[in-house]
Amino acid sequence: MWLLALRTLRFRWAGFIAVFTAMFLGAAIVMACGGLLETGVRMAAPPQRLAGVPIVVTGQQTRDTTDSTGSSGSTALGERRRIDPGLLDTVTAVPGVGSAIPDLSFPATVVVGGRAVGAGSNGHNWSAAGLTPYRLTGGAAPGSGEVVLDTGLAADAGATVGSGVQVTVRGTLRTFTVSGIARQDTGWSLRPGLFFSDAQARQLAGTDGRLDSIGVRPAPGVDLAGLERSVARAVASAGGGTATVLTGERRGLAELPGALSGQRTVTILAAVFGSWAVLIVLFGVASMLGLSLQQRARETALLRAVGATSRQVRRMVLGETAVLSGLATALAVVPGRVVGESLYRQLTDHGVVAREITFHQGWIPVAVGALVAVAAALGAALFAGRRAARTEPVAALAESTVPGRWLTTGRLLTALLLLAGGAGLSVVTATVMTDGPTLASTAGPASVLCSIGLALLAPGITRAVVTAVGRPVRALSGLSGYLALRNATTQHVRTGSAVAPIVLLIGIAGGTLSMQSTEDHVSARSRALGVRAEYALSSSTGGFAPGLLGAVRALPGVAGASELVDSTGFVDAASHGDTVDLRGVSADGARQTLALGALNGSIEDLRGNAVALSRAQAKSFGVRVGDTLRIHFGDGAAADPTVVAEYGGDPDPGDPGRPGDPGEQYLLLPADVLAAHTTTGLPTRILVRAAAGTDPARIRSGLDGLAAGLPGTAVVDHPAVAGPGRQIQQILAASNYTIVAMIVGYAAITVVNTLVAVTRRRRGELGLQRLTGATRAQVLGMLGVEGVLVAVVATVLGTVAAAATIVPYGLVKAHSALPQGSIGIQLAVTAGALALILGATLVPSWRGMRTPPIETVGSGA
């Protein structure tokens, strides 16, 4: 039967194209998601500036956590954790260490003619130049008041050895003499670099002597692996768990503070959407293969009638499937990697993960993608082949013209199990989950499970709906509607097979994109309503010096101004690893620039070791005004600030933008306290509120004048003054508009393949109608009505499935069961599905009717 299977593939190749396409694309999608997951797990960052040393000691960028069940884990820090300078002596004393080189980085920008040049440039200590290495091409090492520029930055600034250059460091413009020009030959495109003497770099960095990293070079002839273990033991003993040792392709993480915070994001995205892809691919491949075998029922029946045994039929079906699936998965390896890299570029472009993290797709994702596609195909082939093989020859011939029983016990149980799972996830999302990165991980899959469950029941539901709308359809569409209703009723299994993939398309696209629309709407409104300031100064050169706030307040017409620092941290009382948003403000300007609502306590007391939080947070953490709250900053440092105020009223279901709503909560801290625990060390924005009756142009003119004297400073208007949204917003936007588009595209291809296959199979039936007197217009009209019926049933079922995601997500995010934002998303999804249905039905039928009817009937096509 293997030979027969190969001959069948050869002479019936057109009928297998749809099955092959489903397997090929499905395997590629699963491989791509697997590559994202492997990338998130490995988080490999090849060193660039630290490429010259094989071992790097740096701050441990994770914090150990314990959840409410007592399970331990770790959560990435959002800011750089620096290490004690005493570790330099500890590492130097390890036997086998040739040299230990300290590394210190801080924002430093060259200014030429009042304009910042060398975007993203950093200052370093001169010793760290050997870590790349940089080599002097002219001049000498820097001394006090001197600087060495890299060749690119020197060219941009027009600087030469001995010339003076202005540099902005920690918000202050200073003048240095260029003592030398250096270049690096690593081949990497590094950020522009400025090098100061080690003593001056420590002074300029403002880190109290703490270092970013220590580069380790082994002594000649020392075994590198053994030295790594020795250094790790020494660091573990002296570092108190705050330092770690990096080697190989992970050394680059020392250059990327906060990069590990994207690890959880990438793994969550890959796991959630990968599981979606697996379910959709299983359903898509199985449904396409099942439809193909169903359309070949007469051929199988004839084989049984001429003496083929049940075992031979099963072997033929499995042989065809094995050949197709093997070829499809083999060809999907390269496209799978291309798709994975494309998705990863989208994530890096959206800032979800650092560009320096390398995309990895090894043999495991490839094997899993191949296994999923092959397992789906062979499972469907085994089920369909067993049914065809067990049927007696006479009964098989009868079933090839009269549909058999579609609702088996296994199909019913599977559908109910999927619907129960989707409903369970919806309930968990609405009643248990809180706003955070994991909210979408329970809300999103609910619509996928419900879509597949309803798709499995589509034939029965289709028949019931068609019966219910029969009279109005006949009244509106006449003969074409009558014929369409008869076909849909008597061939409800065939109609249901056309409905099923469209339910999947509408359910996933509608649910996920509406979820994104709700997130966008709530976050934008919350940020806009949470800030009262009309303007803000924003720095791109590392932050503002402390004295600038006073200058802003002195401008005519300014009612209030506040420094603003954004970071993330942890509250020990939360008993979980999720981060909380920290916002640093000025105590005497917060009330004027932020919409804090009703206050319990005094926000003016937010100085020193103090914190303010929303009433919802106070209730969640079990604290009140006067209590202390154990927190950890984004760099891992611990603190016990006293709660001096609770802000915001109870969440208002009618106004999700009010302070206190779960969509936008911050722990408020003094700006100078929080800034000291960020990577830059300074506030990067100053909020400004105008006095009542003040001419806006007057305020703007004064702010523009200040910004003109501060290179890299811009004036922004409300609502942009609040800055970019939180990371969860970036996560959802990046994922839903890229990965979902890929999955929906696969579902759309499945829809087209299914409808085209069904329509091609009916060419003989359509030809017979034309021979009995039906015109081409009547036949196309009948197919159009059938398409509308399919669209109506699929839209209803798909909307029900989408509601499993939309309703619970909306309840948590916006206290509303309805999706927020534009209703155009759901309308666009429905319109797109209708266009696919009519296009994939009418176009093949119109082309087929160019053939004389007698030929299509005679061919049995």
* Beta strands 535-539; 610-614: pairing state: unpaired
Distance CA 829, CA 734 (A): 19
Question: Which residues are paired to 110 by β-bridges?
Answer: 117, 167
- Compute the average pLDDT of residues 630-640: 92
| pLDDT above 80: residue 101 | yes
Distance CA 744, CA 284 (A): 12
For 427-470, what is each residue's pLDDT tens digit? 888 887 655 556 777 887 888 889 889 988 888 888 888 888 87
Q: What value does the CA radius of gyration of the chain take, rounded to a whole number of Å? A: 33
Which among 162, 212, 165 is positioned nearest to 192, based on CA atoms?
165
More reliable by pLDDT, 634 or 353: 634
Distance CA 388, CA 381 (A): 10
- Compute the average pLDDT of residues 409-421: 88
| pLDDT above 90: residue 160 | yes
Question: Is residue 741 packed enough to be buried (19+ CB in 10 Å), middle (13-18) or exposed (0-12)?
Answer: middle
Residue 154: band (very low, low, confident or very high) from pLDDT cuts 50, 70, 90? very high
pLDDT at 656: 39
Question: Which residues are paired to 178 by β-bridges?
Answer: 147
Poorest-pLDDT segment among 360-374, 649-663, 750-764: 649-663
DSSP codes, 240-293: TTSEEEEEGGGGGGGGSTTTTHHHHHHHHHHHHHHHHHHHHHHHHHHHHHHHHH
- Compute the average pLDDT of residues 507-517: 81
Return the biggest CA–CA distance within the chain.
Answer: 100
For 431-442, what is each residue's pLDDT tens digit? 876 555 567 778
Three-state SS string over 364-377 comes to HHHHHHHHHHHHHH
- Compute the average pLDDT of residues 771-791: 79
For 171-198, what is each residue's pLDDT tens digit? 899 999 999 999 987 777 788 899 999 9
Whether omega before 844 lies within 30 degrees of 0, making that bond cis, reads: no
Q: Count the alpha carbons within 13 Å of 616 in the hemisphere toward its beta carbon.
A: 18
pLDDT at 204: 93
Contact assessment for residue 3 and residue 323, using Cβ atoms and an 8 Å cutoff: no
Hey, what long-range contacts does 604-608 have (CB within 8 A, 24 or more apart)?
605/644, 605/645, 606/644, 606/645, 606/668, 606/669, 606/670, 607/670, 608/670, 608/673
More reliable by pLDDT, 579 or 248: 248
| pLDDT above 60: residue 22 | yes
The SS3 of residue 107 is strand
Could you give the residue ranges of the DSSP H alpha helices within 644-775? 671-675, 696-708, 727-736, 739-761, 763-771
Interhelix angle 363-390/261-295, nearest 10 degrees: 20
- Compute the average pLDDT of residues 212-234: 93
User: Which secondary-structure segment (H or E) carries 526?
Assistant: helix 492-529
Cα torsion at 799, 804, 805, 807 (round to 10°)?
90
pLDDT at 33: 85
Give the range with max mean pLDDT: 198-207, 496-505, 516-525.
Answer: 198-207
- Compute the average pLDDT of residues 651-656: 39
Residue 678: band (very low, low, confident or very high) from pLDDT cuts 50, 70, 90? very high
| pLDDT above 90: residue 30 | no
pLDDT at 661: 43
> Which residues 6+ apart lie within 8 Å of 706 measured at CB?
537, 548, 551, 552, 555, 713
Residue 664: band (very low, low, confident or very high) from pLDDT cuts 50, 70, 90? low
Contact assessment for residue 544 and residue 836, using Cβ atoms and an 8 Å cutoff: no
pLDDT at 743: 67
The SS3 of residue 445 is helix
More reliable by pLDDT, 17 or 578: 17
Single-letter code of the amino acid located at 330: A
Structure tokens belonging to residue 236: 């573990």
Distance CA 175, CA 177 (A): 7
> Which residues 6+ apart lie within 8 Å of 137 measured at CB?
151, 181, 182, 183
pLDDT at 8: 56
Contact assessment for residue 670 and residue 584, using Cβ atoms and an 8 Å cutoff: yes
Q: b/e string for 140-175 if b means 16 or more Cβ within 10 A? A: ebbeeebbbbbebbbebbebebeeebbbbbbbebee
| pLDDT above 60: residue 726 | no
pLDDT at 724: 52
For the chain, what is the mean pLDDT? 81
Contact assessment for residue 463 and residue 489, using Cβ atoms and an 8 Å cutoff: yes
Contact assessment for residue 756 and residue 15, using Cβ atoms and an 8 Å cutoff: no
Integer CA distances (angstroms), 762 to 445, 501, 606, in order: 36, 19, 75
Distance CA 859, CA 14 (A): 15
Distance CA 741, CA 326 (A): 26
- Compute the average pLDDT of residues 482-508: 79
Distance CA 582, CA 577 (A): 15
Q: b/e string for 686-695 if b means 16 or more Cβ within 10 A? A: bbbbbeeeee
For 67-96, what is each residue's pLDDT tens digit? 555 556 678 888 999 999 999 999 999 999
Distance CA 733, CA 349 (A): 11
